[in-house]
Amino acid sequence: MLIHGLLVTSLVMSGAPAAGAKARVDCAKVTCLALTFDDGPGKHAGTLLDVLKREHVPATFFLMGKHVEELPKVVRRTMAEGHAIGNHTYSHPSLPTLLDQEIIDEIRLTQDAIQGVTGRRPRMFRPPYGHTDDRVLGLAGSQDLSQVLWTGTTLDWKLRDSAKIKATVLRLAKRNGVILMHDTVPQTVQAMPAIIKELKKRGYHLVTVPTLLGGRTPDAGVSFP
């Protein structure tokens, strides 16, 4: 893992594309948008991964530790197919209400679960409900994690309607935006082919959050966007 990390760093620094890797999208030059999916992996994740694979769209998944333990194969597939993976806590509590040690436990259990399955420890963290404060951010930083929020939330869990979810994503889409959805909502997964088709038609390059940041993860303890 360390060797891999060093390799990636040196390639990024030299600007040379990795052998066999797809040419990296430069979001400074083209219009990028990151689709992100929280709370998984859920039972619709496989269907979503099929769609993303068919459409050649990399996405970012903020996974819950307890679901990672339930569906390790889906998590391995998510990583193998080029998606970015972040930490969304173990059991989805509102973190500011917890004690320091409880917050660290929620984060660490999830880091351990994801590392156990993929061999890699996430560098990105998204707090459940977006509930965060300086203390939560600092504790995430102490676990070598950056905090990733969003520019637009679809409230897909509330809409539960494919047409409305699609319309909301299109309304929220903007250059370098980060769209929050849930692969646990079946209507979101159902809407995804049409959403991707329309976003591409409008000129968006759909990328992971690290690609949006120029191929790097934001520094630990820093919040984005």
> Of 83 and 205, which has the nearer Cβ to Zn ion?
83
CA distances to 16, 36, 94, 164, 209 from 83, rounded to whole Å, are 21, 10, 26, 26, 10
> Of 182 and 205, which has the nearer Cβ to Zn ion?
182
User: Would you call 83 a catalytic residue per the annotation?
Assistant: no
CA distances to 34, 38, 193 from 200, rounded to whole Å, are 12, 22, 11
User: Would you call 38 a catalytic residue per the annotation?
Assistant: yes
* Residue range at the interface with Zn ion (CB under 5 A); choices 20-28, 104-112, 126-134, 139-147: 126-134
User: Does 128 help bind Zn ion (rule: CB under 5 A)?
Assistant: yes
User: Does 39 help bind Zn ion (rule: CB under 5 A)?
Assistant: yes
Please state, in angstroms and rounded to a whole number, the distance separating the CA atoms of residues 189 and 201.
Answer: 19
**Radius of gyration of the chain, Cα coordinates, nearest whole angstrom:** 17
Backbone angles phi, psi at 148, to 5 degrees: -120, 115
Q: Report in angstroms how near the CB of residue 157 gets to Zn ion at its nearest.
A: 9
User: Does 38 help bind Zn ion (rule: CB under 5 A)?
Assistant: yes
Q: Report in angstroms how near the CB of residue 23 gets to Zn ion at its nearest.
A: 33
Active site residues: 38, 182
Residues within the interface to Zn ion (CB under 5 A): 38-39, 128
